Amino acid sequence: MLLTTRHAASLGALTASALLLLASISPAAQGGKYAIKVTRAEPPKELGANVAKLLAAEAIELQDGSGGKIATVWLRKEVPADATAEQVQNGLTYRELKETTVLGAVRFDKDWTDIRKQKVKAGVYTLRLGFQPEDGDHAGVSPTKEFCVLIKASEDTSPAALEPKAMQEKSMKSIETGHPAVFMLFPSAKAPAAPKLTTMEGKYQVVNARLPVTAAGKKAVIGVGLTLAGTVD
């Protein structure tokens, strides 16, 4: 993942519309099916004003098998990308976006878990883009190397870029653990016209959506595959 407990001890003073998400799975959802519902909802009041104004009014709700709301995700209206005209033409990937970019926000209506089985308390969090370190300690621990990193809304009131280590520290503080809260981003080569829930690798519940992007002076879109439920072994 993004940071091991061993790394955390050595940090000292320390680390497009798009998305993404995830105590153990809540009792209401265990063994049940999931569903999503697209609705219109203003971004949560807990968010900083400068973050909230970046988000679309369209929200994606994750529901459990009985129709109970687990989480609501708001994606960003538009995300800036460092991409050439040729890259835009060939199709954008997460790597054309700057690490720590705000991609959206999420509100959990109940305690949930990230892909590492870390408890994420009910509340509102920002979603920032994170990349898995190429340090050898994280090799093979997850199917993807791109993630949404969660930071408690009160700890992340400005959309300005952060140093990756600062982002990681804020996330660890948000869930009171030695590792950031991380939710996998699967590649989505073709951005769907409307958000769609799919199962990846037989166990990950992933919302595929389209995120508007501005790159090389042009408008484009990137497909986003945000993991909403499921944990690595």
Domain regions of the chain by residue span = 5-229
Cβ contacts of 56 within 8 Å, gap of 6 or more: 17, 74, 75, 76, 77
Which pTM value belongs to this model? 0.82
pLDDT exceeding 90 applies to what percent of the chain?
A: 61
User: What three-state secondary structure class fits 8?
Assistant: helix
14-32 mean pLDDT? 37
Question: Burial of 189 by CB count in 10 Å (0-12 exposed, 13-18 middle, 19+ buried)?
Answer: exposed
* pLDDT tens for each residue of 84-104: 888 888 888 899 999 999 999
Local confidence band at 177 (pLDDT 50, 70, 90 cut-offs): very high
**Alpha-carbon gap, residue 172 to 160, rounded angstroms:** 19
Q: Is the pLDDT of residue 7 over 60?
A: no
User: What pLDDT is attached to residue 137?
Assistant: 55
111-124 mean pLDDT? 94
149-165 mean pLDDT? 97
Q: Between these two residues, 17 and 86, which has the higher pLDDT value?
A: 86
Residue 115 bridge partners (DSSP)? none
Q: Between these two residues, 187 and 72, which has the higher pLDDT value?
A: 72
2-8 mean pLDDT? 43
**Alpha-carbon gap, residue 35 to 66, rounded angstroms:** 10
